[in-house]
Structure 1
């Protein structure tokens, strides 16, 4: 069973086997901030049992790194523990429709965990922000920053300055290609990671949304690969390569199957002036 491991001073990370998702707890003298709330109410309750093995402090805030269900479906459980729910304003706007779609699809799945997903009533955070906010955990400040769009339109990162820790959500992933979904922003993602890198040092501990804890060098490499994806899309569109031919027309840093949405979204988001349109 997964449990919380201290990766820096009073910063604990639990890496859960289903979906390889991370939940992070940051403690100050007064209480806790928890980043991401798990993929169902049932899994959130299990996570709380794990959390109480390392600290009895009250949960002051539960923060969603973005709107996706595997990071937000435990919101109601954390709220019932007294936590104030927080996310970026774009995530709050997108979560209801996203959650309804996931719950509808979950009833068709056969894995036991999906029944819990389908049964979870999703709670949308009432507190939102647009750019950045600071929270006081008691003699410890943490910063919530929206560095830009990338994995979704509502990504945020959490910086713990005194511990030199950055919680990156799914803007950074270990062990797999970055998740380019149907709501991703592949052309924005490299610049967003430039902002993320600006919040780190060479000694920073970086916690991705999925996978093992990494460092700044890992983020730099992933930023460069994501940058190659964006520039390849731009080059193909500029040369007039049709979207249906794009994946086969270039070399990519990730498997083609991981880039289907990236190419489609990239073509959609490029301004008309950067696309060589066919004559009709």
Structure 2
């Protein structure tokens, strides 16, 4: 079940973004004199073949490197396809993401094994993992010939292994799933909701008022959008802290809190927030 074909659109000098209907995923190409760097590779081998065709159609140069923004499957299940289509190349990720991709992918494969009616079940299960080859812990600079690109781990948020990609000369920042436009950012079982706001503070510090921001999912946004999303994440974190400090049990927190999003989206956030709070910030007993 191939994804809807998407053309890459230039959002800044030699920075192209393609938005795909399935999961509203964004794939970005950053061009340099030495070739193209691809940021994220989509959610299956079959979907990635469409992306590869779009790269050829763009005709902006050879694909010479890949970045995976974190360990979730929809951002790296296309790695093997890109290597098959364009040859061996460095694949960059944080150390945490590299070390946890196989476990994370195992959860995805198990889910799709059970999802017998899902229209994309077979294509996801047919995907072969290809792990990142180059890792870093804090920050690293990539040389694209006539352009430098920065990979930065700003802290824990969507996962413990998120990175953002900064293209300084074009004033572009690729936020991975620390920033989402198509829906509120997904707070899952491996997220860090209490730390996410301060992580976004660091991300925002990398921006100017004119920065083009590419989220992991959805349309291209700007600094104001990220600041608004950071404010919402901050409300979630502070609401959890407030409820716990007043002795509201975790089981009642979703009902009693005033949340900026649908509480149904915040079950993991509340559970993890209560777990991550130090004992000094809780009024016991909590159940």
TM (norm. structure 2) is 0.95
SS at match of 2:71: coil
Runs of 4 or more, structure 1, over 3 Å off, are: none
Separation in 2, partners of 1:146, 1:78: 24
Contact 2:246 2:282 in 1 (8 A): yes
SS at match of 1:246: helix
Separation in 2, partners of 1:121, 1:48: 16
Q: Which residue, out of 9, 12, 15, partners 1:5?
A: 9
- 2:66 is aligned with 1:62: yes
Number of the residue aligned with 2:95: 89
Separation in 1, partners of 2:130, 2:7: 25
Contact 2:7 2:18 in 1 (8 A): yes
Give how far 1:56 is off. Answer: 4.5
Separation in 2, partners of 1:204, 1:194: 15
Q: Which residue, out of 109, 126, 151, partners 1:103?
A: 109
Q: Which residue, out of 206, 210, 232, partners 1:203?
A: 210
Separation in 2, partners of 1:159, 1:56: 20
- Per-residue CA deviations over 1:101-124 (Å, capped at 9, x if unaligned) read 111221233233221111111121
CA RMSD of aligned residues (A): 1.3
Separation in 1, partners of 2:98, 2:118: 28
- Per-residue CA deviations over 1:13-64 (Å, capped at 9, x if unaligned) read 1110011111000000111110001101111111010111112522221111
- Per-residue CA deviations over 1:88-136 (Å, capped at 9, x if unaligned) read 1111111101101111221233233221111111121121100000001
SS at match of 1:86: strand
Q: Structure 1: 5+ residue runs without aligned partners?
A: none
Contact 2:112 2:118 in 1 (8 A): no
Number of the residue aligned with 1:79: 83
Contact 1:103 1:119 in 2 (8 A): no
Separation in 2, partners of 1:268, 1:92: 25
Q: Which residue, out of 38, 41, 64, partners 1:37?
A: 41
Change (3 A) 1:274 1:32: same
- Per-residue CA deviations over 1:160-205 (Å, capped at 9, x if unaligned) read 0000000000000003111001100000100000000011000000
Number of the residue aligned with 1:113: 120
Q: Which residue, out of 256, 270, 279, partners 2:277?
A: 270
Separation in 1, partners of 2:286, 2:279: 14
Separation in 1, partners of 2:7, 2:265: 30
- Per-residue CA deviations over 1:140-164 (Å, capped at 9, x if unaligned) read 0000000001000100000000000
Q: Which residue, out of 196, 205, 217, partners 2:224?
A: 217
